[in-house]
Chains A and B, each alone.
Chain A
């Protein structure tokens, strides 16, 4: 009796213990079907100040599309923190949307899963041809030599936003053009509880964007030409150290920024607590934080020396959102129609205008609406001095692992611990060894 009771408790406990992670099998469709020609599901990434803003921007356009084609689009706006996992889950289960937004830096990683419709010449024809798109934006749509896994939808680039009032108070005339100047004016600005530069020290994606550009400036690509992780090169170590040193050594970033991951640095900027932020298309956020357009200025992001350009004078990554179609869609023709609609000149103007981004479609980019001083800086950066993140299948893991390493270094800096070349290299080495295909 007693043994039986123990066995019973054991059985119950066993069921409590079972915590194995498992994944279901997916279906492997070829090029979609047209079983459900009247509906589409669309996952949009969160571009506005919050999810509601996105719904307000997108719904009228989707209604327009329904009027034109008779196809009803079910919209779901997915927050950034969930997007990649949602896409992975959809890929694995075969249960996903028909059309979706992806961060353009993930293009090659998601291309490797084979879940996305490749944009070959025939598919591009359905949306007006490949040459409608800006070259730099096309450079972030998948691995070299393969058909793109997605098409550009919104383009963005990094720029230096500066708080005019704080600059005037500190007697600084113009925004810094090099990092040396940044540290120099930064020291003037960082006093009495105010700081020169904002950072999102716990936001992995943002960290990667900054570190990648600094890496380019130090001649580091983070990947070898054949796609293997290369995080510990001298250039990569120097880049990461330079970024963390803005807090640790130069003390122009507030230690509290080490914890930031929800764009708190933009709030600090709007509240006159931080004089500068490196950001992609921040104007809408500043407005929502109660800043007037003439209270801030925008300049090209700094370089090590000289002026922004290609190679080591890169000053931004090619930022943006791509539009992709799931291969196993049950409405392949409708999905292509929808992509065609979203990348049409008119919609490009409306959507990019609403989000403060730059249209990756040439003919829409020429619209005077995108000629404001703020957007002109972003547009020139994108055209002349932006580089796409590595277009390799392991790019998304690079974002996570190197992002985490830099986050930990920021935590060290914030706690007053020394950040040395050795400690930076050790963290990056750990990240590299955790890469699945290293």
Chain B
């Protein structure tokens, strides 16, 4: 693209008549090339995301139960009923959805916060060169590299009440509890979910922050040290501001992944998660696939999508404002 542009600019003047057409076709090509390059991705995106999404939105206005799943097009229209049921917070369905929503919000804030903290601490700690740094880095990335299912099922075994490793340590060996606690049912399940989620998520934060740290020039630290800045000051005044763009994307991605996490609770708790750990993705799955109420499940999905779009939009506006202020 640049070469044609250069050629055109340096080409000697030609006889009138031929040149404009050539220039026009050149410009046409210049304008349309990026779109052509984007086309395959756009088509695939349409196929993979937008088509099912549109179908999902259509289904959310239908009364789709087991009587119609063979040919969902024939399901009767339900108007706004599915949405009404989902947001009627005084009735069990809406109440359960709202509860699940708040549980998910709390879980996401805690999980993303802890993932980021651990990831940042580890990345900053491993900035300095020392013996065994490479090995540590590799070990830290193990949870990220393991297949989710295998890792989470292992955690599920460890958290079993009667013969799990966790209770064996805290109850049998250390005697910290009067009776072995339950981790996979009841209120503790929220904590179990959080532990597994953070264990799974923090290496990603570590990896991204580590990459971000590579871009901070060493001279800045050296200059700061000469001016008498301590480690904390260096982190506060140099590392964190330099990491801001990286952090903005990282937190957003972690937020979306965590908020939509289905695998972890599903593998940990099976088909019916305890109320304390009833994340919204699993909740919607149960509303759709366990009670065969696909219309209501789709309506919940659409509501979730709108919420996430809103949060993401606000976040992007705020962070781009922050960037503007920096500029």
Contact = CB atoms under 8 A, between A and B. Distances in A.
B182 A434 contact: no
Contact of B52 (A10, A22, A85, A401): A22
Given A26-B70, A259-B160, A435 B291 contact: yes
B185 A20 contact: no
Interface string B277-292: 0000100111011111
Nearest to A430: B92
A21 B73 contact: no
B55 A434 contact: no
A201 B272 CA distance: 12
A430 B175 CA distance: 39
Nearest to B297: A21
Contacts of B275: 408
Contacts of A112: 66-67
A88 B272 contact: no
Interface string A85-115: 1001001101000000000000001101111
B39 interface: no
Contact of B271 (A22, A204, A430): A204
Interface in B67-116: 67, 69-73, 91-93, 96
B235 interface: no
B298 to A, nearest CB: 6
Nearest to B74: A28
A433 B272 contact: no
Contacts of A14: 309, 312
B301 A20 contact: yes
Contacts of A28: 70-71
Nearest to A11: B45
A91 B272 contact: no
Contacts of A139: none
Interface in A238-285: 256, 258-259, 261, 264
A205 to B, nearest CB: 10
B52 A20 contact: yes
B169 to A, nearest CB: 17
Contact of B320 (A2, A115, A403, A434): A2
Interface stretch (B194-202, B203-211, B252-260): B252-260
Instruction: Choose among A2, A26, A259, A437 the residue with the greatest number of B CB atoms under 10 Å from its CB.
Output: A259
B305 A434 contact: no
Given A15-B49, A411-B182, A433 B56 contact: no
B301 A21 contact: yes
Interface in A393-438: 393, 396-397, 400-401, 403-404, 407-408, 410-412, 414-415, 429-430, 433-437
A121 interface: no
Contacts, number: 170
B264 interface: no
B66 A401 contact: no
A201 B162 CA distance: 14
A400 B291 contact: yes
B184 A400 contact: no
A436 B55 contact: no
A259 B93 contact: no
B212 interface: no
Contacts of B323: 2
Interface in B37-75: 45, 49-50, 52-53, 55-57, 59, 64-67, 69-73
B65 A437 contact: yes
Given A20-B302, A22-B56, A85-B289, A414 B284 contact: no
A170 interface: no
B67 A408 contact: no
B289 to A, nearest CB: 6
Nearest to B289: A85
A140 to B, nearest CB: 18
B56 A21 contact: yes
Interface residues of A, number: 61
Given A17-B305, A204-B271, A411-B186, A23 B65 contact: no
Given A20-B53, A411-B185, A430-B92, A91 B70 contact: yes
B291 A2 contact: no
A81 B162 CA distance: 23
Contacts of A204: 271-272
Interface in B149-195: 160-162, 180, 182, 184-187
A88 B52 CA distance: 18
A430 B96 CA distance: 9
Contact of B72 (A23, A85, A408): A23
Given A13-B312, A15-B49, A23-B55, A397 B271 contact: no
A401 B293 CA distance: 12
B274 interface: yes
A26 B69 contact: yes
A429 B91 CA distance: 11
A434 B316 contact: no
A259 B185 contact: yes
Interface string A49-92: 00000000000000000000000000000000100010010011
Nearest to B269: A202
B252 to A, nearest CB: 7
B246 interface: no
Given A26-B70, A400-B291, A19 B260 contact: yes
Nearest to B164: A259
B312 A17 contact: yes
Contacts of B313: 10
B162 A256 contact: yes
A176 B76 CA distance: 52
B186 A414 contact: yes
A63 to B, nearest CB: 33
A429 to B, nearest CB: 8
Contact of B270 (A16, A24, A202, A437): A202
Contacts of A404: 272
20 contacts: A10-B316, A14-B312, A21-B297, A23-B55, A25-B71, A25-B72, A26-B72, A28-B70, A88-B66, A91-B69, A202-B270, A258-B182, A259-B185, A261-B270, A397-B290, A407-B272, A408-B274, A411-B274, A415-B182, A433-B93
Interface of A: 2, 6, 9-10, 13-28, 81, 85, 88, 91-92, 94, 109-110, 112-115, 201-202, 204, 256, 258-259, 261, 264, 393, 396-397, 400-401, 403-404, 407-408, 410-412, 414-415, 429-430, 433-437
